[in-house]
Amino acid sequence: MKHTKFITLLSLFFLIVSCSNESTSGGPSLGSGNTGNDGDNNNGQSESIYYSPQYSLKEVASYYVGVGATWSRLTSSGSNYGSIVGREFNSITAGNAMKGSVTNPETIEEYNWEPGDEIINFAEENNQRVHGHTLIWHNQYPGWIDSFSGTDEQFEAAVEKYVKDVVSHYKGKVASWDVVNEALESNGSLRTNSPFYQRMGEDYIKKVFTWAREADPDVKLFYNDYSLASTSSKTQGVVNLVNSLKDAGVDIDGIGLQMHIRVDYPTNSTITSNVKTLTDTGLLIHFSELDVIVNDNGSLSELTYNAALDQKNKYKDVFEIYDETVPDDQKFGVTIWGVRDIDSWLNPNMNNHSDWPLLFGLEYEYKIAHEGIIEALKD
């Protein structure tokens, strides 16, 4: 009796499940950013924004695949966040933990190493490379910079101390540093709204690279910036900057392209030609902060299957471009700027609407964007 009741209930369950699949078949289905959609389309293919992975990124990749990570989430015990970061990636960049605003928040004398050290510990436990981000930037710099009351010479000496202290602290623990971040305008000229430019003059970049090298002879030194995949005038500005460092005998090992891109911009051919220009410098190439915006105009109130599919294809294209355009010995790796969509720096977001730029859903579901990368890496 009990048994018959169970079978009836089970049949009812399957009936409901099959009806709900049918109701979403035949058209693009709306999957909420949190729950996804598991309907079937006319080809019998799944139309879910999520999928079940067979491989992790790091096990398929022949170069480093990294993540921009938040230290407090990494270290909270039993966290899915930590498991995903450990399982999927073999390189970590601290999202904020190694920026001046965190390491040197108030006075020149006082350092706060704990957040960055937690990242290092996590990476050591999980056999991951650490990329340091970032020493000198016109945002999130040390707290004392704005209130510095000494002369320009004293300011420069204080910056030298800060750069050398930070590089020395992480010596042997980080593989590389974004030494200077976002120093150029879109037209390739030097950004002037930076306290470092204003107080140290246009040679500040050369000086900072020199100090970083003095503090650690082995660490790889990068210049990092945005819009390098989209804007050839800026890309050319980076080439000029690299040449001016080389001409002055200043060491630089690599270029970081942030790669905050959209599903529809820049085009693959534009990305390819800019990456080629930078690759021709002979330096290491890092896609350092990749995310793919799907909702730039704010028209979506949830992530649709079509948008998720466009995003999957763009992630796949970007990894294919990296693989094909950058010679193996210049591949420093590709780093994705965060774990779940909700963790992204673009959420709650800059323009008052949500976006879903990353690889994982709210409950750490694998988005099909992850599958796109796996497909590119396995090709």
List of residues contacting ligand XIL (CB under 6 A):
95-96, 181, 258, 289, 345
Find the catalytic residue in 88, 182, 365, 371. 182
Count Cβ atoms below 10 Å from residue 178 Cβ, excluding itself.
Answer: 27
Residue nearest to ligand XIL (CB): 345
**In angstroms, what is the minimal distance from the CB of 28 to ligand XIL?**
31
**In angstroms, what is the minimal distance from the CB of 112 to ligand XIL?**
16
- Is there a cis peptide before residue 134, judged by omega within 30 degrees of 0? yes
- Angle, helices 368-378/305-325, rounded to nearest 10 degrees: 30
Beta-carbon contacts of 350 under 8 Å, excluding residues fewer than 6 positions away, are none
Beta-carbon contacts of 61 under 8 Å, excluding residues fewer than 6 positions away, are 90, 377
Q: Is the CB of 49 or the CB of 85 nearer to ligand XIL?
A: 85
Q: Is the CB of 123 or the CB of 183 nearer to ligand XIL?
A: 183
Which of 100, 185, 183 is closest to 146 using CA atoms? 100
- To the query of whether residue 88 is one of the catalytic residues in this protein, the response is no
**In angstroms, what is the minimal distance from the CB of 217 to ligand XIL?**
25
**In angstroms, what is the minimal distance from the CB of 23 to ligand XIL?**
39
**In angstroms, what is the minimal distance from the CB of 253 to ligand XIL?**
18
Which of 376, 377, 373 is closest to 51 using CA atoms? 373
- To the query of whether residue 289 is one of the catalytic residues in this protein, the response is yes
Contact between 308 and 49 (Cβ < 8 Å): yes
Q: Which whole-number Å values give the CA distances from 62 to 197, 331, 333, 336, in the listed order?
A: 39, 10, 9, 16
Find the catalytic residue in 88, 289, 365, 371. 289
Which 8-state DSSP code applies to residue 106? Answer: S
String of b and e for 276-288 (b: at least 16 CB within 10 Å)?
Answer: eebbebebbbbbb
Q: Which whole-number Å values give the CA distances from 2 to 13, 14, 99, in the listed order?
A: 17, 19, 63
Q: Is the CB of 36 or the CB of 142 nearer to ligand XIL?
A: 142
Dihedral sign from CA coordinates of 192, 195, 199, 205: negative
Q: Is the CB of 222 or the CB of 305 nearer to ligand XIL?
A: 222
Contact between 332 and 252 (Cβ < 8 Å): no
Q: Is the CB of 138 or the CB of 199 nearer to ligand XIL?
A: 138
**In angstroms, what is the minimal distance from the CB of 356 to ligand XIL?**
16
Catalytic residues: 182, 289
